[in-house]
Amino acid sequence: MSEEQEVAPTEAASEPAGEGQPEPGQQMPTLEQVRARKAALEAKMEEFRSATEAEVLKAWTSPWRGADAVRAKVDARLASNADFRAALTAQREMTVLESEMDPDYVDANAGRQAGGHPAIGRA
């Protein structure tokens, strides 16, 4: 086996799977395909969230179990879940691709000032 053959699988494994952009020579997905993929990713992320919330509630030992505390623990666990993060990244890429393809797309954050907190008047 030559050195080139040994290096090739490593390089292929380290390249990110371009969820949103097709490889050269592939056809660009339609808007409907992008929306379907985005909906599937959102459903997958909701499954992760539901399963994680069930685990958190099952293992909860404190008598203080407010919705905010549960949400914080679930979010912390999901932040370290590689599968959830990959799905989140792919979903964001699908959102960008959808916005580029859809002529009627309206960005909910368009025109908003970046930074600050709504409670102090800087949203």
- Tell me: the pLDDT tens digits for 8-23? 333 333 334 444 555 6
Q: What is the pTM of this model?
A: 0.63
* CB-CB contact of 113 with 123 (8 Å): yes
Per-residue pLDDT at 8: 38
* CB-CB contact of 56 with 70 (8 Å): yes
* CB-CB contact of 38 with 98 (8 Å): yes
Report pLDDT digits (tens) over 20-45. Answer: 555 666 778 888 899 999 999 999 99
Alpha-carbon distance of 78 to 88, in angstroms, equals 10
CA 8 centroid distance within chain: 29
